[in-house]
Structure 1
């Protein structure tokens, strides 16, 4: 009790010191003494940022005139360089290897809506991280999202995020556990239980630097956050793909550094945690006034000599979700007026991944605080990116359970795809040319798919068609000729679906996909760099979905089309698009997908879906795949979302594009259970045929006969 009362006393001292913008170093820490203890030597780092008073644009390439990074590969090469520079400034520990994970539960208390455990996590052989773990009760089925709630610069440490003392505004763990998150609030080094009795924060910093003379407090905090992540990943109640961090002030910069260096952190919320070193009127706060990054002090007072900057650290987090709140009248981190430009620059990196929708920043005219308005925005933003409790990862037992799962699954896939437009402009369909063939008329048309973007497609209209005919959207494979193959003007005649079906009495439309046919831009066929420059918040797969929906709009307004009998068909790339379209657009009543995928779980080359150059379908998945993990959805889930509408999936055994193609057939059999729940199993056909990445003519006849049964009986 004596120590607890002392901590309450020094907390007031800490807050008063912060309010005065920390004019003097913390008692127990002295920069000159650090220099005597430390063996860290200032590296020679000649970086693009070195010597510049302004911030070097993140995507700028040296040269006259300067160039610009426009693909993920080049950016990730630069990220490696940035990471190396910041790592060298943070320093390295002295002969430290992560010990086996060891956790001790000291106490456990049950409250109305959660259980709170007091634990210790072994960080180093002779160092432990005290923490509180808050687990919702009653505990719902299925793993939950988790948040690491990092305290501000307060001697109270972890007590404040848990609402045990301090400011209610900063009780993140208590607030989020009530929203269904597992929360952990650790004491960072120099705070809470890690303050020696009778002292203030940072008091034992020199002892730390004697133990690790080439390291930094900031580096140690990144290490400790990694150990906290190691622990969270062992909890059955925690979804390891949904671990985020949140913090104000000290908690903010701790969270940002941790997220930059550990890709397991899936979302970050930071309030009032920094200003750029170059705009900071006193960057000595990082080196002389606190023990955080004393190495920075060797570059000062010449701020331009600092070889890295905050915008580079923030960009290391991309494309993972990042929310930042900052104050325009912040006396701890003053002169924040330049941060808006910083985040716009960081947004250019997010744009390479089609992920600008996951970067949010807000300023408010107020002091160093995270008020209700800011936290409400942050929690709403977080809730749009992390699953609610009760996600069903296994096939549901009944329709009621499936109806609960379905919208969550759609939402998760949408998050991967990016920000789909809420409204579409007027189609403005124009006929470019018309050609009359034996059984149908083929029109080359043009229509609007987005702002200042028009697409050309072939519209095939049978001569002798019913008053209201069935219609099919035909989506081509990965060929530069695009739509021309779909109507038999070039390429594989077995893939001339639009021409074949028009001869059978279907109205068909065959558009060019992005970067194909007449949509090839200066980067070349299926190079998506141009797409991400135009649509920085939308993946290429998301754009293909949006464009396919616009083609459906054209079909729906075409005279003589039965809007209740519209389907989609595609091979390879076209199959993927057709499945995704049917999963999100109920206007599709029958879908044919041929040789479209191997499941993520079986795929040996998963990064084909999130390439760093050329055709990058869904680049937000890169981090997940690079960690050797699987996302929350796979292609069998896409199939399930289409039920109970009709689907025919065609898979070949020796597919040379998708060597693990048998997994697609197996996914179909797993998805079949949903059709069975609806009593519509006869509407799902799952074909497994011999052959490579192709459709045999006899299989094509089987597919057309199946379509006729769906639309003509």
Structure 2
């Protein structure tokens, strides 16, 4: 709904998308795709590093920004999406690029190469504190980590559209856990997201609080739960195609079936499995297949 999009943007103080300068870097030839490291400026003059995955030997079908997970591993970001480190069922970059999509995978603030004190994929003792500071310092100024995260997200979409040359009706967002939450809010505030694949991130505030589940620092916005809940976000993405992936034993998705039912409409595809939070082969492959086969088909 345009109403929620406008209200959320205004409440956060989120500026409209603007052109972004991109610095191109090293290109690595891989099996079926090229992986390029790029950088572009963030809202606060910071540098946002990302990997760009481009199919080789074929015209791109579409494009997708993939937001990485959290998992308490602040030393992993874009490199996990690239399949270079971490969980192989987070390696959406290679899997989607081999299927013909251009993929952009940026580091979120305080992850991997956007940590305050170190770079790379080795952990540091104070990683968690830097992530906490990314929220608390902003709260001191009456700002939020969500505003920064969503500004980063819409910059990523601007970059994807600028460098890929793909049809704007065939670009969207995807992510698991923290990445899924980012994708969900981004799709609400940015109509350029023509589809959204959201995994391990669809649970009501009441369900998460009732289970004693931690709330992402990204989502810690004073008063947020008083005027929206997760079903409102899904409703606001409609009628754009949306994939929700959830596990019955996932504390972040305990009532995902109820949330999807409350959102209503026929634009949501829901894959619910009798498992926990971490992705497995079935869910990973289903996300890839949906993004390629339905998401990137374009909204007519």
TM-score range (shorter-chain normalised) is 0.7 to 0.9
Aligned to 1:483: 78
Q: By how many angstroms is 1:499 displaced?
A: 1.4
Equivalent of residue 694 in structure 1, options 258, 272, 278? 278
The question of 1:528 aligning with 2:132 is answered: yes
Query: C-alpha distance in 2, partners of 1:594/1:423?
Result: 25
Q: By how many angstroms is 1:542 displaced?
A: 2.3
* Structure 1 spans left out of the alignment, 5+ residues: 1-405, 625-629, 676-680
Cα 1:602/1:496, change in 2 over 3 Å: same
Q: By how many angstroms is 1:709 displaced?
A: 2.5
Contact 1:600/1:606 (CA < 8 Å) preserved in 2?
Answer: no
The question of 1:462 aligning with 2:67 is answered: no
Deviation by residue 1:645-680 (Cα, 9 ceiling, x = unmatched): 00000010111x42xx231221112112xx3xxxxx
Aligned to 1:492: 87
| 1:325-340 pair list within 5 angstroms | none
Aligned to 1:652: 247
The question of 1:620 aligning with 2:215 is answered: no
Cα 1:531/1:427, change in 2 over 3 Å: farther
Query: C-alpha distance in 1, partners of 2:42/2:49?
Result: 10
Aligned to 1:501: 96
Aligned to 2:121: none
Q: How many residues align?
A: 283
Cα 1:508/1:423, change in 2 over 3 Å: closer
The question of 1:635 aligning with 2:230 is answered: yes
What SS does the corresponding residue of 2:214 show, helix, strand or coil? helix
Q: By how many angstroms is 1:691 displaced?
A: 1.1
Query: C-alpha distance in 1, partners of 2:297/2:16?
Result: 34
Deviation by residue 1:465-507 (Cα, 9 ceiling, x = unmatched): 21x5300101000032111100101111011111110111110
Cα 1:474/1:618, change in 2 over 3 Å: same
Query: C-alpha distance in 2, partners of 1:580/1:430?
Result: 27
Aligned to 2:146: 541
| 1:279-298 pair list within 5 angstroms | none
Query: C-alpha distance in 1, partners of 2:230/2:245?
Result: 14
Query: C-alpha distance in 1, partners of 2:10/2:165?
Result: 36
What SS does the corresponding residue of 2:186 show, helix, strand or coil? helix
Query: C-alpha distance in 2, partners of 1:582/1:423?
Result: 13
Deviation by residue 1:246-293 (Cα, 9 ceiling, x = unmatched): xxxxxxxxxxxxxxxxxxxxxxxxxxxxxxxxxxxxxxxxxxxxxxxx
Contact 1:528/1:616 (CA < 8 Å) preserved in 2?
Answer: no
Query: C-alpha distance in 2, partners of 1:684/1:576?
Result: 16
What SS does the corresponding residue of 1:513 show, helix, strand or coil? coil
Query: C-alpha distance in 2, partners of 1:588/1:564?
Result: 8
What SS does the corresponding residue of 2:41 show, helix, strand or coil? strand
Equivalent of residue 25 in structure 2, options 428, 432, 435? 432
The question of 1:709 aligning with 2:271 is answered: no
What SS does the corresponding residue of 2:49 show, helix, strand or coil? strand
Query: C-alpha distance in 2, partners of 1:563/1:541?
Result: 25
Deviation by residue 1:92-113 (Cα, 9 ceiling, x = unmatched): xxxxxxxxxxxxxxxxxxxxxx
Equivalent of residue 662 in structure 1, options 231, 239, 254? 254
Q: By how many angstroms is 1:694 displaced?
A: 1.9
TM-score between the two structures when normalised by the length of structure 2? 0.86
Detail structure 1 runs of 4+ shifted over 4 Å in the superposition: none
Q: By how many angstroms is 1:605 displaced?
A: 5.7
The question of 1:558 aligning with 2:163 is answered: yes
Contact 2:246/2:273 (CA < 8 Å) preserved in 1?
Answer: yes
Q: By how many angstroms is 1:540 displaced?
A: 1.4
Aligned to 2:199: 594
Query: C-alpha distance in 2, partners of 1:589/1:423?
Result: 16
What SS does the corresponding residue of 1:608 show, helix, strand or coil? coil
Aligned to 2:14: 420
Aligned to 1:519: 114
Query: C-alpha distance in 2, partners of 1:699/1:515?
Result: 27
Query: C-alpha distance in 1, partners of 2:165/2:8?
Result: 34
Cα 1:581/1:606, change in 2 over 3 Å: farther
Query: C-alpha distance in 2, partners of 1:438/1:607?
Result: 40
Query: C-alpha distance in 2, partners of 1:494/1:686?
Result: 19
The question of 1:609 aligning with 2:204 is answered: no
Query: C-alpha distance in 2, partners of 1:445/1:578?
Result: 21
TM-score between the two structures when normalised by the length of structure 1? 0.38
Query: C-alpha distance in 1, partners of 2:203/2:39?
Result: 34
Equivalent of residue 180 in structure 2, options 564, 568, 575? 575
Cα 1:423/1:532, change in 2 over 3 Å: farther
* Structure 2 spans left out of the alignment, 5+ residues: 118-125
CA RMSD of aligned residues (A): 2.4
What SS does the corresponding residue of 1:705 show, helix, strand or coil? helix
